[in-house]
Amino acid sequence: MTDPVTRFPGLSRLTPARVRLDARAGPVPMRDLLAFQEDHAAARDVIHSSADWQAIARDLAPLDSIQVSSRAQGRAEYLRRPDLGRRLAPGQDLPCGNPPLVVVLADGLSAQALDRHGAAVVHALAARLPELARQPVVLASGARVALGDDIGAAMGAGMVLVLIGERPGLTVADSLGAYLTMAPRPGLRDNARNCVSNIHDRGGLSHDRAADRLSWLITAARNLGQTGIALKDGSADALPLDDPHPGSLTGD
The range of the structural domain enclosing residue 182 comes to: 53-251
Q: Is residue 32 part of a domain?
A: no
Q: Could you tell me the pTM of the whole model?
A: 0.84
- Beta carbons within 10 angstroms of residue 38's beta carbon: 11
- Reduced to 3 states (helix: H, G, I; strand: E, B; else coil), residue 145 is coil
Lowest mean pLDDT across 7-21, 165-179, 188-202 = 7-21
Q: How many domains does the chain fold into?
A: 1
Average pLDDT, the chain: 86
> Is residue 227 one of the residues assigned to a domain?
yes
Q: Phi and psi at residue 159, in whole multiples of 5°?
A: -145, 155
In a domain, 28, yes or no: no
Mean pLDDT of 10-19: 65
> Which of the four pLDDT bands, split at 50, 70 and 90, describes residue 2?
very low
Is residue 13 in a domain? no
77 belongs to a structural domain: yes
Distance CA 94, CA 138 (A): 9
Question: What is the CA angle 76-85-149, rounded to 5?
Answer: 170
Asked whether residue 153 is assigned to any structural domain, the reply reads: yes
**What pLDDT shows up at residue 15?**
65
- Domain for residue 43, yes or no? no
Q: Is residue 137 part of a domain?
A: yes
CATH of the domain at 199: 3.40.50.11240
